Amino acid sequence: MLAFGAADLHGKTDMSRRLPSLAIALLLVSPMSACGGGGGGGDDAGAATGGGNTGGDGTGVTPGMQIPTAQLPPGPAPGGSDPYVCRNVQVGAVMLDNVFVPEGATCAMLGSQADGTIEIARGGFLDAIDVRVDGNIQAEGAGHVSVTRQSFVGGSIQLEQGQSAFLQDVRVTGDIQLFSNAGALRAERNVVGGNIQVNQNTRGVTLVANSATNGNLQCQANRPAPTGSGNVAAQKEDQCRTL
C-alpha cells in the first residue's frame, strides 16, 4: 500500500513536470486536427454548393424564375433524341417532334414547328411565338405559358393547376382548357374549333374577342368570375353567359 502511494505521488510529481511540455504539444497538434476536420467540411461545403448551383446550365438563373426570351442563348440543333428538351434556350424556325420543357426551365420557341406535343413540366415556362404544333400544348403546374402571334395548334391547349397564361391570336383545332390555375389568365382573339372551358381558376380570367362558333364557351366556379367581351360561341354558359 505504501509502495502504491509512493508510486502514485511520484507519478503526480512527474506529471506536474510534464504539463508545460504537454500543453505545447497540444497547441501544435490542435491546428493540424482542425485542418484535417476542415478538409472534410470543405468537401461537404463543396457538395452543398454544387447541389445549390443554379448556373449549371450556363444561365446562372435560379430554377423556377422565368428568363426573358432575349437573354436565352440559342438552343442546340435538333438531334435524334425525342422529345427535344428545351431547357433555358430559345429555338428558332426548325422542325421538331415532341418538345419537353423541364421543371423550372424556360423555353422560347420562335417560329418553330412541332410535329407532336409540347409538354411543360411543373414550374416550367413557355414563350411560343408564331409556332405550329400538330399535337397539344399541355401543362400541369406550369409557371407561365404564352402562345401568341398567329400560332397554330392542331390539338388542344390544356393548362391545369398552374400559374398565369396568355393566349392571343392562336388558331386551335381542338379545345382551350384552363382549369384550376392560380395566376392571371388572358385569352384574346383566338379561333377555336372546339370548346373554350374555363373552370375553378382563382386569380382572374379575361376573355376578349375569342371565337368558338362550333363549340361552347363554358365557365364554372371561377373566383372571381371571368371578365371580358366580344366572344362568339355556339353557346355561352354559366359565368360566361354575358361575355
pLDDT at 210: 98
Distance, CA of 50 to CA of 57 (rounded, Å): 12
Identify whether residues 117 and 36 lie together within a single domain.
Answer: no
**Residue 243 placed within a domain:** no
Identify whether residues 151 and 218 lie together within a single domain.
Answer: yes
**Residue 103 placed within a domain:** yes
Looking at the chain, the number of H-run helices and the number of E-run strands are 1, 23
- Whole-model pTM: value is 0.74
pLDDT at 65: 84
Lowest average pLDDT, out of 50-59, 195-204, 232-241, goes to 50-59
How many domains does the structure of the chain reveal? Answer: 2
**Residue 62 placed within a domain:** no
pLDDT at 71: 93
Lowest average pLDDT, out of 22-36, 119-133, 144-158, 168-182, goes to 22-36
- Residue 128 class from Cβ within 10 Å (0-12 exposed, 13-18 middle, 19+ buried)? buried
Over residues 116-121, the mean pLDDT reads 98
Identify whether residues 109 and 17 lie together within a single domain.
Answer: no
Over residues 11-16, the mean pLDDT reads 40
- Read out DSSP for 152-190? EESS-EEEES-SEEEEESEEESS-EEEES--S-EEEES-
**Could you tell me how far CA 174 lies from the centroid of its own chain?**
26
Lowest average pLDDT, out of 63-77, 131-145, 181-195, goes to 63-77
Range of the domain at 43: 1-53
Identify whether residues 113 and 185 lie together within a single domain.
Answer: yes
pLDDT at 178: 98
User: Is residue 105 scored above 50 in pLDDT?
Assistant: yes
3-state SS class at 148: strand
**Residue 90 placed within a domain:** yes
Identify whether residues 85 and 20 lie together within a single domain.
Answer: no
Identify whether residues 162 and 109 lie together within a single domain.
Answer: yes
**Residue 58 placed within a domain:** no
Distance, CA of 188 to CA of 238 (rounded, Å): 19
Distance, CA of 99 to CA of 19 (rounded, Å): 73
Identify whether residues 158 and 126 lie together within a single domain.
Answer: yes
User: Is residue 87 scored above 70 in pLDDT?
Assistant: yes
Identify whether residues 46 and 78 lie together within a single domain.
Answer: no
Q: What is the mean pLDDT of the chain?
A: 81
